[in-house]
Amino acid sequence: MKVELESNIGELIKKSGLKKAFIADKLEVSVPQLRNYEKGTSLIPFDKAFILIELLNCNLDALYNKKSPLR
């Protein structure tokens, strides 16, 4: 079973006021990789997700919305 997710990371970064280069540095990824997380073309690994939620002051479940219900 595959769950489709929609990323909220870009919106959360925008609301935070933090610069993408700063966040990418803290996550130890490139800015293009951070953009992949924002667009949902790559899922953020859990270890980096926990760093990101601390930076953005949000919960883990705020990073993504489920697109379709489980069947």
Tens-digit pLDDT profile for residues 41-66 = 999 999 999 999 999 999 999 999 98
- Distance CA(33)–CA(9), nearest Å, equals 12
pLDDT beyond 90 at 3: no
> pLDDT per residue over 26-42, tens digit each?
999 999 999 999 999 99
Query: What's residue 4's pLDDT?
Result: 86
Q: Is residue 36 part of a domain?
A: yes
Rg (CA), the chain: 12
Query: What's residue 70's pLDDT?
Result: 62
- Distance CA(49)–CA(34), nearest Å, equals 11
**Tally of domains within the chain:** 1
| C-beta atoms surrounding 33 within 10 Å | 16
Q: Quick check: helix, strand or coil at residue 48?
A: helix
Q: Which residues span the domain enclosing 51?
A: 5-59
Q: Is residue 17 part of a domain?
A: yes
Q: Is residue 68 part of a domain?
A: no
Q: Is residue 71 part of a domain?
A: no
